[in-house]
Chain A
Amino acid sequence: MDTESFLQENQENLNNILRPFQKELNRGQRLADFLKQCVRCLGRDDFLQLEELLSSKIAQNVEEEEVLGECKPLFQTLREYAGEQVEKYRFEFIEDLSRLAEEAELPLEIDFPRFTVLKGIEGEIDFSKRTTSINKKVLKSIDPRRIVTAALRWKKQLYDGPFDPQAFVDSLYATYKKINQQEDAAPGHPVGIQQFYLEYVISLQSKAFFINMDKSKFRGYSLEQFGVDLWRYFEAGIGGTSNGMMLQLRPGRNNSLWLIDSDGERRQITGISFQEKAI
């Protein structure tokens, strides 16, 4: 056996011993970190986070760990305590949520259990299940801090980017015109909204993306964003494209998308068209 093979073989042998040992260490570290988090929560009497932690999968793992056997009865006691405190917290919850939203300059309107932030950002709180859904994404928490953070994330994502309503509607018209020409349809003929959305997302991609369709170069454009951008365009009141075409959304049920119409209402839209402005 030459030296190189000898070294390689033993390196592999040691690695085989190290790998499960390291894995076990990491697992233990995760459990220890979890317990530290619980300890921190107790130090701050953060019963909201404590309850979330104790109802997680990792809490179960701790309870099943032989070395940590003493945690089981402790966790049970703490679960009862946290549950009780969270239920009592119902009295301060709305006030706290409003206050935190105000501090974060988030325009939050609460009609408990529902709330809205801006057009296209809606949520609902299910206190008994300890969940909050924002735009159908479920957050397994009723912690106002986490709700505000999640709502801010939505606001940032949908509203805080640069937006030029004129450029937006012109780009929509360009896509519409392209589809119309491909299908040899008459001007003003409605285009299916799903087909349009797909075509529009493609129109937003850079040339670099089309070279090898690299996922990292793909520029996403969510349906929520499309809805919000449409609303912002309507709200801007600029009156149509640069060449005087007016955008029209057609409501309906089949092959539709949920968007926001000119009244700021979430609505099922099946088609989109551009008409010449009536003089």
Chain B
Amino acid sequence: MKTMEELDQLKPFQARSIIEELRKGSVPAEYVPFFTVGRDNWLTFIQDDLANYIAEGGAKVRFLSGDYGDGKTHFMSVIQHLALQEGFGVSFVVLTREIPIHKFEAVYQAITQQLHGRFEGIGIRNLLRQWLDTLAEKEEPSLAQLADMAETLRNLPGMNINFANALTALAHNRFVPLEEGEEQEERDAAQEIIFHWFEGGKVTKRELKPFGIFEVVNKSNSKQLLNSLNVFLRHFGHKGLILLLDELETVIAQSASMRNAAYENVRLLIDNSEHAEYFHIFFSIIPDVLLSEKGFKSYDALWSRVRSIGQKKKLNYRGVLIDLHRTPLTTKELIKLGRCLRRIHEISYRWEAEDSVPDKLLEDVCTNQEKMGLLSEVRLFIKQLISILDMAEQGETPTEDLDLAQHVVSSQQEMDQEKVEQLQPSWDK
């Protein structure tokens, strides 16, 4: 993604942020282009889809499959960067117990809070604020102009009436002068109610009535409101909406009734994509979601729609499944990644790493991982490498003292422990 020359432009603080996140095993989403290697085929086809299909009115659902540590979250962050570059609105949501896919209204809330696009900051509030600022760019709109705008919004194909009325109410709240006896605080409170409604928050119907909003966000209308958000994004100069929903595999650990409700929602989203526009959803899953009895196979209405995925011997880079597990980074690519990380580490701590952590050592780390059948675990490689770089920077010469075999085993044990902790209910942590 970025060349070594561009990498050299990183400031020490930025480089350090990257290293700190990676050391924890997290993905510094903002900086992924600085340490992205390989996966070129997948990315080429995704970019092509975004530019020539989704941006032209297409819609699609794809599943990103990989084991723990294969780089799913990192890959999704790369898609996020691509989509933002292409001019889409993007929301990256991690599905958890608190944001489960079977409660789409909760997912909608998270989508609005994590929204990125051609506006400053994150979240739907910032999008709406920027839209209001744009309306007043030349001069503040008159009542007649506001009425025209309201009509335009209501007539946008696919726009929900409540969503359009909420946008109109926001514009009125901002541009119509205060009436006699009306206080600015009242205006601010009203604006807060409307923002809160856009975010899918709890608002009473009585509070919403003055703005012509007659529904709160709920299970039955959340998908429609999501569609309206996409319509509004396009109206405001975006190419469409890209949703990145990470960790769908959390569904597997839930009860059968919750699983079925979750799978029904996934199915509905797939079916919806047949007549949706300018819309792309990516779900990340672990292979168990495709293989186990608690996965998609347990919900035939869903499985029949995705069953071709993961079953073919040959990879289809345009297919429904982006199979990272079957397309792991090669040793060569891992070494390239190692060089990037080495350079970022050098910038962070202002030192020279190449002598004490040469390419040969990067190769040895890969060889050991391959022997363990874990070459695809990019996270393990990164974790090991950062620990080696840390030690080298502190004066220990890894090439002489390091038992690489022991090192990879310790890193793997650490990661196993992390997996166990990840699977524990939050109240046990």
Chain A residues with CB under 8 Å of chain B are 87-88, 90-95, 110-114, 127-128, 251-253, 258, 263, 265-268
Contact = CB atoms under 8 A, between A and B. Distances in A.
Contact of A251 (B291, B300, B405, B409): B300
Given A251-B304, A265-B307, A94 B372 contact: yes
A92 B373 contact: no
Given A258-B293, A266-B293, A268-B298, A92 B311 contact: no
A91 B297 contact: no
Interface string B279-321: 0000000010001010001111001100100010000000000
Interface string B175-197: 00000000000000000000000
Interface in B358-376: 368, 371-374
A88 B298 contact: no
Q: Which 10 A-B pairs have the closest CB atoms?
A: A112-B373, A128-B416, A91-B371, A94-B373, A251-B300, A87-B409, A90-B372, A252-B300, A258-B293, A91-B372
A112 B325 CA distance: 11
20 contacts: A87-B409, A87-B413, A88-B409, A90-B412, A91-B371, A91-B372, A94-B372, A95-B371, A111-B325, A112-B372, A113-B373, A128-B413, A128-B416, A251-B300, A253-B298, A253-B299, A258-B293, A266-B297, A267-B300, A268-B297
A9 B108 CA distance: 84
Given A88-B405, A113-B373, A266-B293, 4 more contacts: A91-B405, A95-B371, A110-B373, A258-B293
Given A92-B371, A94-B371, A265 B293 contact: no
A114 B287 contact: yes
Contacts of B287: 114
A222 to B, nearest CB: 16
Interface in B403-418: 405-406, 409, 412-413, 416
Most chain-A CB neighbours within 10 Å: which of B303, B373, B374? B373
Contacts of B307: 265
A266 B291 CA distance: 9
A254 to B, nearest CB: 10
B416 A267 contact: no
B394 to A, nearest CB: 25
Contacts of A92: 371
Contacts of A263: 311
